[in-house]
Structure 1
């Protein structure tokens, strides 16, 4: 989404002159829990992962921020002078556009596209968090892993990721994820390789999302 081109002439001038671009490498921290938020963050390229930590110290992914999107937790902290309540890191090479808080509030009052982005970020984040919470409490880790693979599979029937990333996203351990993947491999549902998992039987995985066969 090209935000600048959807602003009014005056809004575009303010946006482009005050937007600060920042580059991040994969896994580089962007925000730490307890940080003060001075502006709104727009993903221009790449992706961000917002996560928290369990009492055992495991990373639990809350949601991701993709190009054209902003972080609603940062917006909430910005509007209410709260400290940031989670951690954020770049998932890949990422370019952020950071807009000072007073400028974002000014644009929010008068620009429909900024209001739209903010409302969509709020609704999608709430929906994602509720969905993740429901899955976490109602499904086994094996079912959640099956669902995880199905929603992230590429057109070539392959999920390009690592076991550690999956473990972080599911709030589990790499060893436990490896054990489940080994079981799925023995059943002929998947085939694992270096930084990739090939889906061999998607229909069986779909059934597994509903009924745990373990």
Structure 2
């Protein structure tokens, strides 16, 4: 059974004492959603921020043509809805429960108060926003300059790093569907299925029902797709913030 996080486990509040956390947690609403359930809708008032304690949440947008675009797959420990609170604007994306999930809902006014009174919270949120900007910059670059296969390799690389590391044999479970991955990387489901099968034939991955095992992590790095013989694996260099 997946463990549900508490308020003190969230990065934004890791610098606070139990004495600080108690009144904050008392002001929160714990909410539970079933798989596929709408959590909030684009255009709703942006007056709360949500923290994922267990399960996963998809942030999505529908185009006028009815195409669903997945902007992010949000896991335990992450926040969503904070941009609306900080800007005072309505929700820009809809949120759905990709799996059964438990969330904390915090009034936006409380978040703004904590930013003003607790430097550690303010610093953590600033770091989070900078990482979001870096991620969006990387995503735009990928959509413009990389092929579907390269974008898929980069996606698998990022997911592996987010879920613990890149050692050979790393198993990734509860991945999005092929259609969801296609929306995330800017492709169609058929292209994702075709390229996953290609990576399987090349011995880069092994996939099954709702799991994927990384057999050759070095082959996920961008330069690996350009060479017949992938370079020896070495961990990526840390990028300065």
**2 CA distance for matches of 1:189 and 1:12?**
45
* 1:99–1:199 Cα change, 3 Å: closer
**2 CA distance for matches of 1:191 and 1:8?**
44
User: Whose helix fraction is larger, Structure 1's or Structure 2's?
Assistant: 1
* 1:142–1:150 Cα change, 3 Å: same
Q: Is residue 200 of structure 2 the alignment partner of residue 185 of structure 1? A: yes
Which residue in the other structure is 1:199 paired with? Answer: 214
Deviation at 1:8, TM superposition (A): 7.9
Deviation at 1:104, TM superposition (A): 2.1
1:129-208 → structure 2 map (5 Å cutoff): 129-153=136-160, 156-160=169-173, 161=175, 162-206=177-221
**1 CA distance for matches of 2:226 and 2:87?**
43
**1 CA distance for matches of 2:130 and 2:27?**
27
1:26-41 → structure 2 map (5 Å cutoff): 26-41=35-50
**2 CA distance for matches of 1:150 and 1:80?**
32
Higher alpha-carbon deviation: 22-31 or 151-160: 151-160
SS of match in other structure, 1:172 = coil
Report if aligned partners of 1:143, 1:208 keep a CA contact under 8 Å in 2: no
Deviation at 1:59, TM superposition (A): 3.6
**1 CA distance for matches of 2:29 and 2:139?**
33
Deviation at 1:209, TM superposition (A): 5.1
Which residue in the other structure is 1:42 paired with? Answer: 51
Higher alpha-carbon deviation: 41-50 or 137-146: 41-50
TM-score (norm 2): 0.72
Q: Deviations over 1:144-192 (max 9, x none)?
A: 1122223334753333323233223213222221122233333343333
Report if aligned partners of 1:51, 1:87 keep a CA contact under 8 Å in 2: yes
SS of match in other structure, 1:63 = strand
Which residue in the other structure is 1:111 paired with? Answer: 118
Q: Number of residue pairs matched? A: 210
* 1:39–1:171 Cα change, 3 Å: same
TM-score (norm 1): 0.80
Q: Deviations over 1:129-158 (max 9, x none)?
A: 111111111100011112222333475333
* 1:128–1:137 Cα change, 3 Å: same
SS of match in other structure, 1:6 = coil
Q: Is residue 35 of structure 2 the alignment partner of residue 22 of structure 1? A: no
Report if aligned partners of 1:146, 1:209 keep a CA contact under 8 Å in 2: no
Which residue in the other structure is 2:72 paired with? Answer: 63
**1 CA distance for matches of 2:129 and 2:225?**
29
**1 CA distance for matches of 2:51 and 2:215?**
37
